[in-house]
Structure 1
Amino acid sequence: MTILTRRRLLAGATATLASGALAGCGLPRSGPNRSEIFAGSVLREGDSFILVVDDRVNAIAGVTPALAFSQGFAGAGVLGSDTINPGDVLSITVFENVDDGLLVPTGQNATILDEVQVDGSGFIFVPYAGRIRAGGNTPETIRRLIAERLGDQTPDPQVQVARIAGDGSTVSVVGGVGAQGVYPIERPTRTLSAMIARAGGIAIEPDIAQVTLVRGSHRGTIWFEDLFQNPAADVALRGGDRIFVEEDSRSFTALGATGAQSLVPFESQTISAIEAIAQVGGLSTTSADPTGVFVFRNEPEAIARALTGIPDLVGTQRVVYVLDLTRPNGMFYARDFAIRDEDTVYVTEAPFVQFDKLISAITGTLATVDTAASIGSG
């Protein structure tokens, strides 16, 4: 191969790679660059709102959904140590201080009404006392009600009430606890935190543990730590309650010029943009552009209106937050920016990275051409 032919091949390879690079294609990269992201703005050809993060944006967008019990849970009073339920079977013993009593046979001082079942409406029937409300009451309350009714007909009757069948008031505890199971509501375990302790305590990381209480068709969830920081969150239990202890299921996605590209679970109740970047190994020191840290998020209508100042926005809006870590206070803005569930954190490559790739590709191509030329001339 002649020198002229070699020069033509070299010039052709250089021109082809250079034109490909200028066109923004042909070379591998981790994702869109800053210009391409900004091209997606509603002010240009896209449908996203591009917002540079500052104190105002942080104040509006830094809303973290709170977990708390509704008033129906928080307002429930603490139960007694034992509560009778429909379907339970009771044993009632009546003592009378007269020879010819209402219920006690002659020559005896007591009579036992065995296997008295609480009906579906929560009532029992006791001779001479009539229908007594048993469901929802403690054995002590039932004892007092029977004694009052019989007291009108026999002097100072003494009554004992005990459950002989039935589960009583129980709750089920499942998930990340030391010992899953069904537990009775007793005097030491009448509140949520006490029942979790009775089940062996939390068996997962407390910082990301969530406690869900299900009562009938109602459900409420709180952070485990709130049980101790907020006494009002330690609600009273009811028979049939179900308690679920689970790890936080929130996550965000990290992409681009970071130490790792993956789906990242939350490791605490709140995560800032700086913490999110740190969790994936920080910015790549060889390729990341610190002026191009982006957070992609779908914002609800109310927050989008407040951010953009556009009052007639309807529905969820696509928002891209820009974090320039080189700006004055840029690190503080990133530290105060709260990452939310399903966010995408993306870091663009520095401009020189594509140039380096271009040079490497050209250099490699020139070496290949030169080798081919040497073979051809040999």
Structure 2
Amino acid sequence: MAVITLLVQSGCTALGGSGPTHASIKRLDKATYTGDDIALVNLNGAALKRISGYEQSRSFATLLGDSEAQDPVLGAGDVLDISVWEAPPAVLFGAAAEVSAAGAGAQSRTVIQQVVATDGALSIPFVGRMDAGGKTPAQIEREIVRRLTGRANDPQAVVRLSQNDARNVTVLGEVAGSRRVPIGPRGERLLDVIASAGGTRQPVGQVTVQLSRGTATTSMVLDRVIRDPRQNIRVKTGDVVTLLYQPYSFIALGAIARNAEIPFEGGKFSLAQALGRTGGLRDDRANIQGVFIFRLEEPEAVDPAGTLNARRMENGRIPIVYQLNMSDPTAFFVAQDFVMRDKDVLYVSTAPGADLARFVSTVASITFSAISIGNVLGSSSNNAATPAPKPQP
């Protein structure tokens, strides 16, 4: 009995736990993380709206925008095939011209190949030096005809881009072959240039597309670009498209069926799916009001009024704890809309009475074991005290 009494006196501290209690996490707004406040945010419609708005602001369609297909403009390194016609008698290009059709109305054609110089200039016989940089082939045609009028007999010109060297997109990373993909007049889209580089070498759910344009850089999961046509924007000259292999995972701890690092697919993987993948909350231990997600969050994704004193990490993020009260039926809709991110920590606190119930169970087990042992020992003592019967003569 002395052993049992000792256990009763120290039982609440002797039994371990799976993590902090619900009450201690609720006091995080008064706690510090390396000297700065931690923000505790209730997961509700307003919080989801802010998170969704931030995610949308960083999408390809919003941050970089789409554009209409445009005629290609010429730049340094482009190779042009310039065809010039003049009606007979051909006097400028003479014997160099080829007869394009028989008869009195035949015209002679001369084909000239030119490379746009680094300063954007072209030099064409009988036309002279002209600026081609930033102009379309159609504009060059009109300029050639204008300069030849009065010198050639009924001049006509056709300018064809035979080699595109100035308008390219660089595609690299987890693709079959990193390369520079030329942009044609139809306006290639993001998935077009990825396909031109041979496509991704990894599952689309584990690949992040990073698009850099000028000083702006943003990233999205490839699976989302495929599922949302608005994100499949037209690329522009000088864009750099990088495919990054990024396996996603979150840490699951606390009063759930499975404590582990759990991988998941990129894209919209919800908190509801995360809870399902862990096996759900433990009925005998979980506090349904204490479902928490620990995250280093972007400041723009939360209400600034609650994060004024929050610590800014090296990457600009702040420590945030999101709380979901699963006793509210609407929480199941919130859990479906809340999107998990890579390296999130999902923690479910233990119910206040769970440790006591476990303690009582432990004490009861020890008590019954002690009683059983006492009964065995008592039975042995009684047997030893009873004298053996004397043998009969």
Compute the TM-score of the two structures, normalised by the length of structure 2.
0.68
Give the superposition deviation at 1:124: 0.9
Give the whole-Å Cα distance in 2 for the aligned partners of 1:218 and 1:59: 24
Please say if residues 93 and 110 of structure 1, whose CA atoms lie closer than 8 Å, have aligned partners that are also in contact: yes
Contact 2:127 2:144 in 1 (8 A): yes
Amino acid in structure 1 at the alignment position of 2:15 = L
Tell me, yes or no, if structure 1 residue 78 matches structure 2 residue 69.
Answer: yes
Q: Which one of the candidate residues 21, 34, 53 is aligned to 2:22?
A: 34
State the superposition RMSD in angstroms: 4.6
Give the letter for the 2:362 counterpart: S
- Between the aligned partners of 1:318 and 1:92, the Cα distance in structure 2 is 62
Q: Distance in 1 between matches of 2:295 and 2:202?
A: 29
Residue in structure 1 matched with residue 4 of structure 2 by the alignment: 14
Which residue is equivalent to 1:243?
Answer: 241
Shift, 1:250, TM fit: 5.6
State the distance in 1 between where 2:349 and 2:115 align. Answer: 72
More off after superposition, 288-297 vs 222-231: 222-231
- 1:138-192 deviation per Cα after TM superposition (whole angstroms, max 9, x unaligned): 5454344323221242222244545666746443444566776444334566333
Query: What is the identity percentage for the equivalent residue pairs of Structure 1 and Structure 2?
Result: 26
Using a 3 Å threshold, how does the CA distance of structure 1 residues 328 and 202 change in structure 2: closer, same or farther?
same
Residue by residue over 1:111-134, the C-alpha shift from the partner in whole angstroms, topping out at 9 and shown as x without a partner, is: 5545x3321121111233222233
Distance 2:52 2:213 in 1: 32
**Structure 1 residue 74, shift from structure 2 partner:** 3.0
Deviation at 1:227, TM superposition (A): 6.4
Partner of 1:275: 273
Matches within 5 A, 1:310-321: 313=309, 318-321=319-322
- Mapped contact 2:15–2:355 kept (Cα < 8 A): no
On the 8 A contact 2:54/2:301 being kept in 1, the answer is: no
Structure-to-structure mapping, 1:87-236, within 5 angstroms: 87-99=77-89, 101-105=91-95, 109=108, 111=110, 113-114=112-113, 116-161=114-159, 167=165, 169-175=167-173, 181-186=179-184, 190-199=188-197, 210-222=208-220, 224=222, 225-226=224-225, 229-231=228-230, 233-236=231-234
Q: Which amino acid aligns with 1:148?
A: R
Quote how far apart the aligned CAs of 1:51 are: 5.3
Report the Cα distance in structure 2 between the residues aligned to 1:165 and 1:58, rounded to whole angstroms. 50
2:315 corresponds in structure 1 to none
> What residue number does 2:358 align with?
356
Q: 1:61 to 1:151 in 2, by over 3 A?
A: closer
Is structure 2 residue 346 aligned with structure 1 residue 345? yes
Shift of 1:90: 4.1
1:301/1:313 contact within 8 Å kept = no
Amino acid at match of 1:42: K
Once the two structures are TM-superposed, the CA of residue 53 in structure 1 deviates from its matched residue by: 4.5
User: Which segments of 5 or more consecutive residues in structure 2 lack a partner in the other structure?
Assistant: 99-107, 313-317, 385-393
- Write the distance in 1 (CA, Å) between the matches of 2:184 and 2:39: 56
Alpha-carbon deviation of 1:86? Answer: 0.9
Q: Distance in 1 between matches of 2:26 and 2:341?
A: 22
Partners in 1 of 2:309 and 2:139 — Cα distance?
A: 59
Q: Which runs of 5+ in 1 are unaligned?
A: 1-9
Considering only CA atoms, is the larger Rg found in Structure 1 or Structure 2? Answer: 2
8 Å contact kept, 2:4–2:366: no
Q: Rate the CA distance shift 1:265–1:137 in 2: closer, same or farther, 3 A.
A: farther
1:17 and 1:358 in contact (8 A); partners too: no
Q: Distance in 2 between matches of 1:359 and 1:72?
A: 58
Shift of 1:283: 1.5
Alpha-carbon distance change, 72 to 157 in structure 1, aligned in 2, over 3 angstroms: farther
Q: Give the match's secondary structure for 2:279.
A: coil
Q: In structure 2, do the counterparts of structure 1 residues 288 and 307 end up closer, same or farther at CA, with 3 Å as the change threshold?
A: farther
